[in-house]
Chains A and B, each alone.
Chain A
């Protein structure tokens, strides 16, 4: 899945924003969370922000030219995951969604098209645990 530099920069932004949403959740619910839950969420935040930085590194070495690749499905997955964090009540669900997004970030950085498609689906599936 060849990305353009602009697409990689845009994805980097999406992952940063997701890390921010997760961090805000952790601090807003600090008293309600157990130390293990806080650590688990923080761990996912570091993974997401490092994915964002890795995407910047990739983008700097990438082309400026146009690409036919659509990153819409990735962007949709991350947006869905961000909004799920604000709605989900169970901490374990939140950690599951965050972990799926971390997997997607790793797949993007490793430029593995199969893994990207699989992980984008995993992120979408993880958000379906939302209560009706």
Chain B
């Protein structure tokens, strides 16, 4: 039989522990390093915009292979792609800024992104080419990030940030993934065609064995560069997929962000993201 005093002590201790747990969550004592790491590596990944530069430069690279009478058309394509650059980078910027806010709140820091937000808002106003769904996602994300800064959100609002941002973030990441896979990937396949057509034609026209050997070496070297580029596209689309999955996991378990199992899952996602980012950096 339990002594009444023991029961009282147990209840008091229980209340005290619960209060401590609540305080630790709200006052930043719970270590959410896995979420900080996820946010940091995702922000770092979003900073990688080499593929956007290569997309804009694609028509220039085509000039190596295509006859001169095609160059004006390729130049026009470059100009059109240049006008898309800000919009393409906008997707990267949103992911980066959001992840920095997420990492900040997970570390219980005040997020100060006033300058970046102002830049984002300016870019947002000048961009009209996106779909209504994506424009809405940009707008929602800008509103949430502004609220984080203006209201001085801290760790206790982390679940709220994740809850409000998951929808727009998934829309932006999905759109960027499609562009990376089908757009940048499609460019690589067109470049592969142009390169092969150019070298095969030159080789078929040549009667000089030494010249043919040199051409084959050039083709091989260019082919290797292109294969490396294709590899970086595949790695980057895998990164975007991991960011999407990782954030969805946070959203699904947003009411229990300190749970060990969740933090372990996120830790694993961070490791995979780091490996993929290292792969891209080595290419």
Contact = CB atoms under 8 A, between A and B. Distances in A.
Given A9-B186, A63-B131, A23 B193 contact: yes
Contacts of B77: 50, 53-54, 57
A13 B183 CA distance: 10
Given A16-B189, A59-B183, A27 B133 contact: no
Given A5-B178, A9-B183, A59-B183, A23 B133 contact: no
Contacts of B207: none
B132 interface: yes
Given A46-B70, A56-B187, A9 B182 contact: yes
Chain B: interface secondary structure? Answer: helix
Chain A: interface secondary structure? Answer: helix
B49 to A, nearest CB: 14
Given A9-B182, A64-B133, A49 B194 contact: yes
B209 interface: no
Interface string B199-232: 0110010000000000000000000000000000
Contact of B197 (A13, A23, A59): A23
A3 B73 CA distance: 22
B88 interface: yes
Interface in A33-78: 42, 45-46, 49-50, 52-54, 56-57, 59-65
Contacts of A49: 190, 193-194, 197
Nearest to B74: A50
A5 B81 CA distance: 15
Interface string B53-89: 0010011001000110010011001001100100110
Given A42-B201, A61-B129, A16 B70 contact: no
Contacts of B55: 60
A129 B183 CA distance: 35
A52 B186 CA distance: 9
A85 to B, nearest CB: 15
B174 interface: yes
B228 to A, nearest CB: 20
Contacts of B189: 16
Contacts of B130: 63
A21 B175 CA distance: 31
Contacts of A6: 178, 182
Nearest to A43: B67
Interface of A: 5-6, 9, 12-13, 16, 19-20, 23, 27, 30, 42, 45-46, 49-50, 52-54, 56-57, 59-65
Interface of B: 55, 58-59, 62, 66-67, 70, 73-74, 77, 80-81, 84, 87-88, 129-134, 171, 174-175, 178-179, 182-183, 186-187, 189-190, 193-194, 196-197, 200-201, 204
Given A49-B193, A60-B179, 16 more contacts: A5-B182, A6-B182, A16-B190, A42-B197, A46-B70, A50-B73, A50-B74, A54-B77, A56-B183, A56-B186, A60-B88, A62-B129, A62-B131, A63-B132, A63-B134, A64-B171
